[in-house]
């Protein structure tokens, strides 16, 4: 069976999101700092290399625009 790559996977529905962090346990994928309890965080869905499905990456809002240049175009 051929390994799944991003080329043969369907697009992820709703790849971006924003919500409040329910705890302070999440780590920002941009700066590797903790995302505080109750702070607004940016969510990005990506295909998982380890299982069938996607993972949700979490970012501080200040880190999300610098991590992916396309995010600065989202209004």
Q: Which two tokens stand for residue 33?
A: 């700092």
Name the domain count of the chain.
1
CATH number, position 69 = 3.30.1740.10
Per-residue pLDDT of the chain (75 residues; tens, 9 = 90+): 445 555 678 887 788 889 999 999 999 999 999 999 999 999 998 898 888 889 999 999 888 877 665 655 554
Residue 7: inside a domain, yes or no?
A: no
Residue 62: inside a domain, yes or no?
A: yes
Residue 54: inside a domain, yes or no?
A: yes
Global confidence as pTM: 0.73
Residue 3: inside a domain, yes or no?
A: no
Residue 6: inside a domain, yes or no?
A: no
Q: What distances in angstroms separate CA 25 from CA 22, 33, 34, one per listed residue?
A: 9, 10, 7
Contact, 23 vs 15, CB < 8 A?
Answer: no
Range of the domain at 33: 13-73
For residues 51 and 36, give the distance between their C-alpha atoms in angstroms, rounded to a whole number. Answer: 28
């Amino acid at each position: 069976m051929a390994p799944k790559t991003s080329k043969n996977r369907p697009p992820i529905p709703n790849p971006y999101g924003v919500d409040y962090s329910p705890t302070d346990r999440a780590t920002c994928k941009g700066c590797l700092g903790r995302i505080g309890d109750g702070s607004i965080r940016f969510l990005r869905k990506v295909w998982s290399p380890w299982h069938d499905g996607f993972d949700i990456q979490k970012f501080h809002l200040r880190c999300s625009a610098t991590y992916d240049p396309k995010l600065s175009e989202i209004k």
